[in-house]
Amino acid sequence: MPEKSRLLFVGDFEAQENSVRQRFVDDFEIVAVPSLTDALDDLRNGAYAALYMAEGSDASHGRALDIAHRALVLSCMHDGVVLLDAENKIVWHNECFEKWCDRSDVVGSNFYNVLSSPEILGPDFCPLHTAISSGIASHSTLRTAENRYFHIHVAPASPNQKLRQELIVTVRDVTVEMHQQQKMEAIQKAGMELADLKPEELKHMSVDERIELLKSNIVHFTAELLHYDVMEIRLLDRQTGRLEPLLAVGIEQEAALRELYANPQGNGVTGFVAATAKSYLCEDTVEDPLYLLGARDAKSSITVPLIAHDEMLGTFNVESPEARAFDESDLQFLERFGRDVAAALGTLELLVAEKATTAAESVEAIHTAVALPIDDILNETVNVMENYIGHEPEVIARLESILRNARDVKQVIQKVGQSMAPSEAVPQALQTESRPLLTGRRILVADADENVRVAAHALLERYQCAVETSHNGGETLSMVRNVASLGGYDLVLADIRLPDMNGYELMQKLSAFAETLPLILMTGFGYDPGHSIVKARQAGLKEVLYKPFRLDQLLETIERVLVETDVSPSTGSL
């Protein structure tokens, strides 16, 4: 005799047993439950061919069939689903929610209690109350004492105001996503600290000490945030293509000293990454044809390029003794941290502007001390000249004499420094190469940041440039107007965000009386207030420098602009 299909009866079975048996007993095996809640549990756990809802049961209204029908689908979801009564007690739940609670007796319990009374992070801090009182769906994020995160979406079980005292709550475990977000934020914060090499904090440190500080910070944050203790950083020599070792922790000495070049063939994963500027996830070092021995017991690795402003600086490699220890999230985290490391390396190079000998350091200290005060004298002098032009020729002549003398003071200090620090006294790493295109150039640097103005003197004057600075757009225009008779400037280097005008406005006003004077704008990466750069480019601007830029980027940009505009050195006194 074939096995009968099962029918689930919901309601008072004793009151209707005779009639139900007469109608269905020949075709079905009847299973009776008193309430819809019991029916939902049975539907979840058993196979039924039919559902019978008795008159007078709590399932007799039309929504009951709909809820029961959907329960079969909800039970199989990977998200938690909960039906709550008006007191926020659990009436029904699916299997997923039960697993998250790590207990089976949650029916009748308070929703928040079974989740260990989690902290409500918002945006709605009373999502259950909001849904019941307003009839509008709400959502929020919960954090448990075990540092698990759940996103909940709460909606009335019925659109009917009289019947909306029950709530449907969907619960999604977002712990992994939240932990990844927190880790990314921590990496971003660490990156800011990594690159925060302020001149006032580092002025007493040698170049080698600065490099060691940066290396120490990289090792610290890599271990603390990414939990990697085997790492290697190599820097690209742009002239030879060689990848020079900068930092190696946990790497075999032979591997750390191995000659590698930015070439995709024969130079391991590191050479491939440096040549292609693409990250590389090596899941198994034994099977990977590109991998060259780094750490003795390495089974997997990640290598990412170090890139700043679209220029390859080097590579960053981490290794693990476990095969397939890294996934796409690890790759993403290392790429993010690698961008900060690249920015820090660029900042460090920008700050390396000191002489190595005691004599050179002393002369440079004197020059640094007088450079900005003399610039202030120049700024004030041209400001006075503006008021006397056309009225007092003798006063103008005297003011021009002050300008010449002030310029000469700086030039004398610079020449004395060169004579006191012959090139053979300066270490090879700090010797200044000859750059004929910059010799004798007079450059005006406009920036409200004193650190930038000081750096402009220290860096550009190493290459025989004569640098003067201004604080804002108005001073810049006055300087350009009033030094024209003394030879003028060969180039203006200005921040895009001056206190009184933006870079585009400065460009427009300069063109009114110095149309051929080259202009380069500087800005923080991605910062363009009022689309100033876009407007300036449309008006003919050739070059933009993104801070923090490296020294070679600054020099090459200036040289390129001078060549493109065919500017000869100014004839003013140097």
SS (H, E, C) 367-409: HHHHHHHHHHHHHHHHHHHHHHCCCCHHHHHHHHHHHHHHHHH
CA–CA separation, 373 and 232 (whole Å): 45
Percent of the chain with pLDDT over 70: 73
**Which residues on neighbouring strands pair with residue 512, listed in sequence order?**
none
Neighbours of 106 (CB within 10 A): 21
As a whole number of Å, the end-to-end CA separation of the chain is 114
Nearest CA to 241 out of 255, 261, 227, 221 is that of: 261
What does the pLDDT read at residue 46?
A: 62
Residues found in the chain: 574
> Is residue 244 within a helix (H) or strand (E), and if so which, with residue range?
strand 243-249
Is the pLDDT higher at 368 or at 31? 31
Which of 13-27, 220-234, 389-403, 515-529 is the least confident region?
389-403
61, pLDDT greater than 50: no
- 340-371 pLDDT, tens digit per residue, is 888 777 665 544 433 334 444 555 565 566 77
Phi, psi dihedral angles at 112 (to 5 degrees): -70, -35
Q: Is the pTM of this model over 0.85?
A: no
CB 265 within 8 A of CB 255: no
Is the pLDDT higher at 286 or at 372? 286
CA–CA separation, 204 and 15 (whole Å): 95
CA–CA separation, 72 and 46 (whole Å): 10
Paired tokens of 154: 């709460």
572, pLDDT greater than 60: no
- 423-466 pLDDT, tens digit per residue, is 443 334 444 567 888 988 999 999 998 888 888 888 888 888 88
Q: Angle at Cα 435 formed by Cα 375 and Cα 404, nearest 5°?
A: 30
Q: CB-based contacts of 341: which residues, under 8 Å, 6+ apart?
A: 191, 194, 218, 233, 306, 316
326, pLDDT greater than 80: yes
Supply the DSSP symbol for 161: G
CB 174 within 8 A of CB 150: yes
**Rounded to whole angstroms, what are the CA distances from 10 to 15, 17, 64, 94?**
12, 12, 11, 20
Average pLDDT score over residue span 171-186: 75
Paired tokens of 486: 């003394």
What does the pLDDT read at residue 270?
A: 93
Nearest CA to 498 out of 543, 530, 537, 456 is that of: 530
CA–CA separation, 501 and 472 (whole Å): 8
- 474-511 pLDDT, tens digit per residue, is 999 998 988 877 888 999 999 988 999 998 899 999 98
Q: CB-based contacts of 501: which residues, under 8 Å, 6+ apart?
A: 472, 473, 474, 509
What does the pLDDT read at residue 108?
A: 84
**Conformation bin of residue 250: beta by default, left when phi > 0, alpha when psi is -120 to 50:** left
Res. 160 pLDDT band, cuts 50 70 90: low
What does the pLDDT read at residue 304?
A: 93
Domains of the chain with CATH codes? 1-74 (3.40.50.2300), 77-173 (3.30.450.20), 182-351 (3.30.450.40), 358-564 (3.40.50.2300)
**Rounded to whole angstroms, what are the CA distances from 67 to 33, 36, 70, 165?**
16, 9, 5, 15
523, pLDDT greater than 80: yes
Is the pLDDT higher at 478 or at 524? 478
CB 413 within 8 A of CB 457: no
Give the gyration radius of the chain's Cα atoms: 37
Q: No. of H helices and E strands in the chain?
A: 19, 19
CA–CA separation, 315 and 303 (whole Å): 7
Is the pLDDT higher at 537 or at 211? 537
What does the pLDDT read at residue 220?
A: 77
320, pLDDT greater than 70: yes
Average pLDDT score over residue span 67-83: 64
Is the pLDDT higher at 170 or at 384? 170
- 273-319 pLDDT, tens digit per residue, is 999 999 999 999 989 999 888 888 889 999 999 988 788 889 999 89
Q: Is 162 helix (H, G, I), strand (E, B) or coil?
A: helix
Type of residue found at 134 = S
271, pLDDT greater than 90: yes
Nearest CA to 247 out of 262, 228, 232 is that of: 232
- 97-113 pLDDT, tens digit per residue, is 877 776 777 888 888 88
What does the pLDDT read at residue 278?
A: 93
How does the average pLDDT of the chain come out, rounded? Answer: 77
